[in-house]
Structure 1
Amino acid sequence: MKFSVKRWFQGAVGLASLLALAACGNLQNADLSGTETTASSNKSASYQITGSTDGTQYSALLANGKYKVSTSRGLTVDQNSNTFNTSSFEAGLTTISKSNFSPEKYAFQEGQHISRTTANSWLKRESANNEAGLNPKDNGSTDPDKRAPIYLQEILEQDYLQRTNNSYQTAGVAIGLGLNEIDYYQKVQYGATFKTTISQAEREKQGKAMAVKILARLRKKKELADVTIVFGLYKQAANDSLVGGTYFATAVSKSGTTISEWKTLNQENGVLPVVNNQKAVNDGDADSFGNFKTKIQAFFPNLSGVTAQTHYENGTLQGMKIKISTQFFGVNEIQSFTQYVDTAAKRYLPANIPIEITISSVEGMQSFLSRESGDKDFYTHVFSSY
């Protein structure tokens, strides 16, 4: 079966956007080189794309042989410490973008139109010294139910480019708005942490209003005046969540500064086995994972833990990532265990969905297994000790 090591490492090391997008889609007239004179410089830049596969992932655009990183990528309001949010925030926006910018026709580049300084000012509260702030003015209250919370936690820009002759031009932009489910705050510096819980209705209201403001600001840029701009509203998972957040709404602006229609997204992430007496998103999937977990622990009892992250859209399981922690150190033991996990996974885990399984010890990753959607067999790899 076909397998992208880069795509697998997206989940393993958390570089969700960079590694997934370095995999390549087929572009029309996909000549690997070209030149373009930028609007801000008279210098001619050499461009190329990273290659081509089956068109399910984007080709990344390289400028002068280098991958261009957004200066504002990863900038957040320093409140939420859930690292799972970062990967699901980026990967989810890429998935939304595919519905509007086909990987067969567009190349990907990290956001170049919203500078770090601009993003930082937008993430701050509106004030006399920061009129561009998208978060509300501080009303002076420290009461959890009366204060004006921080709604917007993070902004993400992704650019999608098309080739014209020997140059690449921005033809589309995707903007992700990471919105808090819980706003963590301190009444005094270095003091105890308190929290304000934000309702879904208020989060959605605030997010949609912010999207309209951002749209108007982006349209003032000459290069973005007429391109398609896509917005995704993302609910940040709480600090103690064992999974990342999910997108709950998206909208598309073909032109102008108004958004006429929003589409509701029904996404949910879960953890198996469930903790704190929570209910599984789907009992059948939970039972399948439970049987798999029981089987491998019975045959190889020297395991530290077996957990899974699940992702659902419209109530249907879309993917599963399983982490197995071991106390194995012998090469033959690791190889035997990987073979057994392969057999058990095919027998007990849900069929026809992408599944990634990592097997690790305190010394690092030992092996992994991966199956693409629709495939029956798993690709397996055991890391050597040399």
Structure 2
Amino acid sequence: MRKLSMVALSLVLLLTACAPNFQKQEEVVQKTDEDTKEKAIIPKYKISDEYYRTIMPFQPGEARGMVVNNLNTRYDITEFETGLMRIAQNAFSTDKYVFKEGQYLDSRTVGLWLNRKFNENQLKERKMKADDNIGLNPLDPGNGDVHKRNEKNPIYLAHILEHNYLVQSSGEKGTYQLGGIAIGLALNSVHYYQEEQYGAVFEKNITRSVLEAEGKKIAQEVVSRLRGIKELQDVPITIGLFEQESRSSVVPGNFFAYAQVSQGSSNIGSWKDVKEEYILFPSDKAEKEHRDDLTFFQNFKQDVEEYFPNFNGVIGKGFYIDGQLQEMNINIPIQFYGKAEAIGFTQYVTGLVMEHFPSYISVQVSVSSVMGQEALIVKKPDQDEPFVHIYQ
């Protein structure tokens, strides 16, 4: 391994070479409706073909912030958004389309759609109008045993996320207009409920088969409602089903199905499976389903623990597509007593990364202490030398 100073120098050169040139940007006109046009900027620099360029100035989504309260963990929040972008790429190329946060579903609309359906008495209690009784979750009649009611009628839909994708207008160079939208439906694998407002919390597990059936019904209704919005009557729609994990999970959920609705259509045709999954290492599931991957992770973990004999906090998160490991993210929280110790440990771990993990997977190791992030090690597939950064 090269000396740390050489790694630091390489890092400076890498960042200099890859730093975005903010002078290189494209001034365009954005069509917001039939009669309105606004000046906008699209950065020419794109950090990767995996990401969309974003139209500027950035315009927050109409339902911005709701996802934080509606999803169970920060892992699900991140994966829900990035996973929806991956699904969108099946219909909207990153070379042709630019990204904009959803502008058509505001927080009030999303909130009403996330409600349960209500009967007449429940509407009166909530002082709601009949026109606002548009919840997509099943009715809770409010009579009888609370456990039986929630077992029979769990809340399936947790959140709705909208992304807009703009494309250059044909015959109007420099003018961009809405070219399609992507909708993510976050579904609950666990329904949480209480007997009373401040009472104990109970859980109802929802099987994937039930969740898929209910999710597809909800998706069809969502598409029909979107077509009722003037600006969305004639644009392609991609809609995906996301299963979020429980509140105690340390790995995110994943999208498991998506469908593409053609221009002007209100009917969802066939659904396509999304074979993505996150697995915790070590775990019983990793041992049962990915024994070989667990073996090289455990060997890495054991060697880390040789450096700190009383330490056993190495945790990994594996990302799988079609059952094949694509990426391993590892967190190592350590108590250091000096910078030299942190540097020495980082060099040691870097060697272990190159020794234990197959060349075809991406590996990222974050080393942290009570003082914050200490080091980052990144090895891309078939990379001879990893990227290493020591935080100052």
- Contact in 1 for aligned 2:25/2:44 (Cα 8 Å): no
CA 1:287–1:209: 2 relative to 1, 3 Å: same
Please give the alpha-carbon distance, in whole angstroms, between the structure 2 residues aligned to 1:270 and 1:296. Answer: 21
Please give the alpha-carbon distance, in whole angstroms, between the structure 2 residues aligned to 1:271 and 1:49. Answer: 37
Find 1:143's aligned residue among 136, 144, 147: 147
Please give the alpha-carbon distance, in whole angstroms, between the structure 2 residues aligned to 1:305 and 1:291. Answer: 14
Deviation at 1:237, TM superposition (A): 0.3
1:323 lines up with 2:331 in the alignment: yes
Deviation at 1:166, TM superposition (A): 2.5
Give the AA of the match of 1:115: D
Q: Percent identity?
A: 33
- Contact in 2 for aligned 1:108/1:159 (Cα 8 Å): yes
Q: Which residue of 1 aligns with 2:89?
A: 98
Deviation at 1:326, TM superposition (A): 0.8
Please give the alpha-carbon distance, in whole angstroms, between the structure 1 residues aligned to 2:239 and 2:385. Answer: 37
Q: Which residue of 1 aligns with 2:104?
A: 113
Deviation at 1:132, TM superposition (A): 1.6
Tell me the number of residue pairs that the alignment of Structure 1 and Structure 2 aligns.
355
Find 1:272's aligned residue among 275, 281, 291: 281
CA 1:57–1:46: 2 relative to 1, 3 Å: closer
CA 1:365–1:31: 2 relative to 1, 3 Å: closer
Give the AA of the match of 1:111: G
Give the AA of the match of 2:338: G
Q: Which moved more, 1:252-261 or 1:35-44?
A: 35-44
Find 1:35's aligned residue among 18, 29, 41: 29
Q: Which residue of 1 aligns with 2:77?
A: 86
Please give the alpha-carbon distance, in whole angstroms, between the structure 1 residues aligned to 2:382 and 2:288. Answer: 24
CA 1:89–1:37: 2 relative to 1, 3 Å: closer
Larger radius of gyration: 2
- Contact in 2 for aligned 1:292/1:348 (Cα 8 Å): yes
Please give the alpha-carbon distance, in whole angstroms, between the structure 2 residues aligned to 1:40 and 1:236. Answer: 38
Please give the alpha-carbon distance, in whole angstroms, between the structure 2 residues aligned to 1:106 and 1:216. Answer: 24
Q: Which residue of 2 aligns with 1:48?
A: 42
Please give the alpha-carbon distance, in whole angstroms, between the structure 1 residues aligned to 2:336 and 2:89. Answer: 41
Deviation at 1:102, TM superposition (A): 1.1
Deviation at 1:242, TM superposition (A): 1.7
CA 1:196–1:302: 2 relative to 1, 3 Å: closer
Give the AA of the match of 2:66: L
Find 2:197's aligned residue among 178, 182, 189: 189
CA 1:166–1:210: 2 relative to 1, 3 Å: same
Deviation at 1:51, TM superposition (A): 2.2
- Contact in 2 for aligned 1:77/1:153 (Cα 8 Å): no
Q: Which residue of 2 aligns with 1:170?
A: 178
- Contact in 2 for aligned 1:243/1:271 (Cα 8 Å): yes
Q: Deviations over 1:141-185 (max 9, x none)?
A: 512564411100111111111123232211111111110111001
CA 1:42–1:98: 2 relative to 1, 3 Å: closer
Deviation at 1:337, TM superposition (A): 1.3
Q: Deviations over 1:82-139 (max 9, x none)?
A: 2211111111111111122111111111111111111111111122543221111112
Please give the alpha-carbon distance, in whole angstroms, between the structure 2 residues aligned to 1:219 and 1:61. Answer: 24
Q: 1:101-250 to 2 correspondence within 5 Å?
A: 101-127=92-118, 128=123, 129=128, 130-140=132-142, 141-144=145-148, 146-164=151-169, 165-250=173-258
- Contact in 2 for aligned 1:304/1:326 (Cα 8 Å): no
Please give the alpha-carbon distance, in whole angstroms, between the structure 1 residues aligned to 2:371 and 2:44. Answer: 33
Deviation at 1:53, TM superposition (A): 4.1
Q: Deviations over 1:317-370 (max 9, x none)?
A: 121110001111422211111111111001102321222111000110011011
Give the AA of the match of 1:247: F
Q: Which residue of 2 aligns with 1:262?
A: 271
- Contact in 2 for aligned 1:303/1:325 (Cα 8 Å): no
Q: 1:311-350 to 2 correspondence within 5 Å?
A: 311-350=319-358
Give the AA of the match of 2:376: F
**Once superposed, what is the RMSD of the aligned Cα atoms?**
2.5
Q: Secondary structure at the match of 1:210?
A: helix
CA 1:300–1:111: 2 relative to 1, 3 Å: same
Q: Secondary structure at the match of 2:49?
A: coil
Give the AA of the match of 2:174: N
Greater than 4 Å deviation, 4+ residue runs: 40-43, 76-80
Deviation at 1:35, TM superposition (A): 2.5
CA 1:335–1:47: 2 relative to 1, 3 Å: same
Q: Which residue of 2 aligns with 1:381?
A: 389
Deviation at 1:377, TM superposition (A): 2.7
Q: Secondary structure at the match of 2:88?
A: helix
Determine which structure has the larger helix proportion and give its number: 2
Q: Which residue of 2 aligns with 1:282?
A: 290
Q: Secondary structure at the match of 2:349?
A: helix
TM-score normalised over the length of structure 2: 0.84
- Contact in 1 for aligned 2:251/2:278 (Cα 8 Å): yes
Please give the alpha-carbon distance, in whole angstroms, between the structure 1 residues aligned to 2:372 and 2:310. Answer: 16
TM-score normalised over the length of structure 1: 0.85
